[in-house]
């Protein structure tokens, strides 16, 4: 009987771990509103994430220029982290995914003192339905 209880407990813990990973999958498009350095004009940025297990890849697309690749991306439970490098600077992003899986609170920090860090909230973009082809 004791062995049966231990086996059941092990199965419950295994399924709980699997469902926790499924709930934190961040694959998809996420957007955030950024303010410029003086807190004035805002602009939208978007992240395209691809998560495989705990590995995170993807890109950041700002209001100008080409998409920038993320590196060293990782998702661990409700924690997310990645880096973006451009113009000789690396910005580290670390954050938390909410329980619903539709919002990420990120804190960013640069490896250079002249670029301020900050906080942002990413919101998962809703998938748009593709219209049926015209006849």
Q: Specify if 129 maps to a domain.
A: no
Q: Specify if 99 maps to a domain.
A: yes
Place of tokens 């998962």: 124
Q: What total of structural domains would you count in the chain? A: 1
Q: Which of 53, 56, 52 is nearest to 17 (CA)?
A: 53
End-to-end CA gap in the chain: 65
pTM (two decimals): 0.73
Q: Which of 19, 25, 84 is nearest to 55 (CA)?
A: 25
Q: Specify if 98 maps to a domain.
A: yes
Tens digit of each residue's pLDDT (9 = 90 or more) over 46-105: 999 999 999 999 999 987 788 999 999 999 999 999 999 988 899 999 999 999 999 999
Decide: residue 129, CB within 10 A, 0-12 exposed, 13-18 middle, 19+ buried.
Answer: exposed
> Can you give the CATH number for the domain in which 105 is found?
2.40.128.120
Measure Cα distances from 110 to 86, 101, 113, 125 in Å.
11, 26, 7, 26
Q: Specify if 134 maps to a domain.
A: no
Q: Specify if 131 maps to a domain.
A: no
Domain range for residue 72? 2-124
């Amino acid at each position: 009987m004791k062995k049966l209880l231990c086996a059941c407990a092990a199965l419950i813990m295994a399924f709980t771990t699997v469902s926790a990973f499924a709930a934190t999958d961040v694959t998809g498009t996420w957007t955030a509103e950024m303010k410029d350095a003086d807190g004035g004009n805002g602009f939208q940025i978007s992240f395209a994430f691809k998560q495989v297990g705990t590995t995170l890849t993807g890109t950041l697309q700002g209001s100008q220029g080409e998409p920038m690749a993320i590196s060293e991306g990782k998702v661990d439970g409700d924690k997310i982290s990645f880096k973006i490098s451009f113009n000789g600077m690396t910005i580290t992003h670390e954050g938390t995914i909410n329980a619903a899986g539709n919002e990420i609170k990120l804190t960013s920090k640069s490896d250079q003192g002249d670029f301020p860090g900050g906080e942002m909230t990413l919101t998962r973009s809703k998938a748009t339905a593709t219209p049926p082809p015209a006849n």
